[in-house]
Structure 1
């Protein structure tokens, strides 16, 4: 990229490089808050070279490279003032950096030896990963809320949140006990962000959807995402969370009579096929008007096929929503689905 000429002609205002980014875009990319960037600029003079109309900050590739170096150094334990001096003094694209005496902590620097295996992802995904490995809880919270608000819950989950969670899990699996704290912090804040999604004020008057994890299964985040988006669309949900015992699952289906029941399994060790067959055979309701639930299996633990012809596999949040909505529309109900106020609740 050609730098901005130091002395442009007086009759032509300086032009910003085409790739210059706003402070908010840079913050999402790096996984820090805009307030942090402004603080660094004010305290350590590590700001953008260009300003639009003298007021709006615009960060060039060289500006961003300096910020990336500062992020790497602060994540390794270098004090911010020293990291800023090293970043400002480094040549563009260089890596002049004081090394801390202790072994460096994991960082999410692109291409570094400790980089998370993200692959081709959205910039917001890389920013979230960088914030997570720095254990920067406020930035993680802000980035998650921004992703949901800007892209919607389904896109945010499939293109930003889930890829970051998978990358942290893969890194943890290949690095022994390292990164466990990163996974725990990120998972906690993802769960909190999902619970901050408000359900629709009016709920569809239709049979409920039962969500549960298989016995012994502790991974709940995909079910939490599904519960949040169903609630956002006004669909009644009963969420039973992690490791629901087999007897409790049977009782929950019999007592609530859900039109659809979704059972999540993360690994083959929790994918109990005998349980699937027994749940698929459950009938509920009054004698002479018995019904049964559409049993939907979600998660990689079930493999590619279905352990029972009365079940169906779900693959991904977006496509899974379509399957669930179709199941609800096909419910044998005496009256069509209508909107009710929040006080009346949903009929099972």
Structure 2
């Protein structure tokens, strides 16, 4: 029997990456280390995933957003994953993704979405835009995506519009460029950049001097850029899908390569908790903690 990527209900690894946000390398590592997912191979040897496996991966991603680690989740059958999701939903009631905002997302209405962002920006300022709208809205959209109320194009539309608006807001925002000088990026295997941009907005609102390299930077380039920018802090963001062990190894290697005077700040849903307490590393669990982190740095310097 010929099996190809065009076979019904089968998705290739690129399609699974788009639908779940999990990197191809992560999918391969999980397959090798945990025995799931279990793709079949087409006639060319390429991996193909069933819809059931993709749905299970989406459940796992949602729970990882809530702090669960993949090693635990990948061993659970779908019904136990559903039970964990149900328990999480009972503690979180979406309050933002409704009315005109939900309609704008589903209709891909750029102007309506920008009006919502602009209204909150004028009322709450840059920090309020992030902490009171974007960050909680990200959670609500994740819930809606998991339920099937929003599709992959809707989620991608939202992400692109948020990033476009935040970059525009930053471009028109006065930047005094006070210390600390913060270099923002991710490890080379982390391609999600929205969290990084949200951090840049929060730091800029505190008057910090930010230099963003975007995602997926090799360690040697991060070290070189920190020297070039005369950085006081290197800030890294991790999405929930990033493997914890890989994050820990990368952070320790980077910490060992940076001058001791350069601090390493780590945040995001995938930031490894075990890095807490290591010299020269600050773990930031909530983006709302960033202003306190800047204030603390200035007090110490």
TM over 0.5: yes
Q: Distance in 2 between matches of 1:124 and 1:191?
A: 18
> Per-residue deviation at 1:129?
2.8
| Aligned 8 A contact 1:260 1:324 in 2 | no
Q: Deviations over 1:171-209 (max 9, x none)?
A: 334539x61111111111111111122465351443411
Gaps of 5+ in 1: 1-115, 285-290, 332-348
Change in 2 beyond 3 A, CA 1:154/1:118: farther
Q: Tell whether the 8 Å contact from 1:165 to 1:183 is kept in structure 2 after alignment.
A: no
Tell me the distance in 2 between the aligned counterparts of 1:129 and 1:153: 22
More moved, 199-208 vs 245-254: 199-208
Of 314, 335, 341 in structure 1, the residue corresponding to residue 284 of structure 2 is: 314
1:295 and 1:125, CA in 2 relative to 1: closer, same or farther beyond 3 A? Answer: farther
Deviation readout 1:25-75 (Å, 9 max, x if unpaired):
xxxxxxxxxxxxxxxxxxxxxxxxxxxxxxxxxxxxxxxxxxxxxxxxxxx
Whether the aligned pair in 2 keeps the contact of 1:257 and 1:292 (CA below 8 Å) is: no
- Which whole-Å CA distance do the structure 1 matches of 2:230 and 2:276 have between them? 22
Deviations 1:308-343 (A, max 9, x none): 612121122221221133224423xxxxxxxxxxxx
From 269, 276, 284, the counterpart of 2:242: 269
User: Following the alignment from structure 1 to structure 2, what is the Cα–Cα distance between the partners of residues 190 and 246?
Assistant: 28
Match of 1:128 among 95, 98, 101: 101
Displacement of 1:264: 0.6
Aligned to 1:194: 166
2:230 aligned residue (240, 257, 260):
257
Higher relative contact order (CA 8 A, sep 6+): 2
Alignment of 1:137-286 (within 5 A): 137-175=110-148, 179-198=151-170, 201=174, 203-271=176-244, 272-284=247-259
Decide which of 273, 287, 294 is 1:324's aligned counterpart: 294
Counterpart-to-counterpart distance in 2, 1:224 and 1:157: 10
| 1:25-174 equivalences in 2 (<5 Å) | 119-120=92-93, 122=95, 127-174=100-147
**Which residue of 2 is the match for residue 296 of structure 1?**
265
Higher helix share: 2
Shift in Å at residue 237 of structure 1?
0.4
What CA distance in whole angstroms lies between the structure 1 residues aligned with 2:132 and 2:257? 36
> Gapped runs of 5+ residues in structure 2?
1-88
- In our comparison, the structure showing a higher alpha carbon Rg is 1
Asked whether the equivalents of residues 276 and 282 of structure 2 are also in contact (C-alpha less than 8 Å), the reply is no
Deviation per residue, 1:149-175 (Å, 9 max, x gap): 112222222222222222223333453
Following superposition, the deviation at residue 270 of structure 1 comes to 4.8
Cα contact 2:181–2:209 (8 A) shared by 1: yes
What's the CA shift string for 1:255-293, capped at 9, x where partnerless? 333211111110353552122112222344xxxxxx521
Root-mean-square deviation (CA, aligned residues, Å) is 2.9
Alignment of 1:305 with 2:274, yes or no, is: yes
The structural deviation recorded for 1:231 is: 2.2
Q: 1:248 to 1:230 in 2, by over 3 A?
A: same
- TM-score normalised by L of structure 1: 0.53
Deviations 1:72-128 (A, max 9, x none): xxxxxxxxxxxxxxxxxxxxxxxxxxxxxxxxxxxxxxxxxxxx9995455586542
Change beyond 3 A, Cα 1:273–1:164? same
Question: Aligned partners of 2:228, 2:272: CA distance in 1, in Å?
Answer: 29
Rounded Cα–Cα distance in structure 2 between residues aligned with 1:262 and 1:241: 11
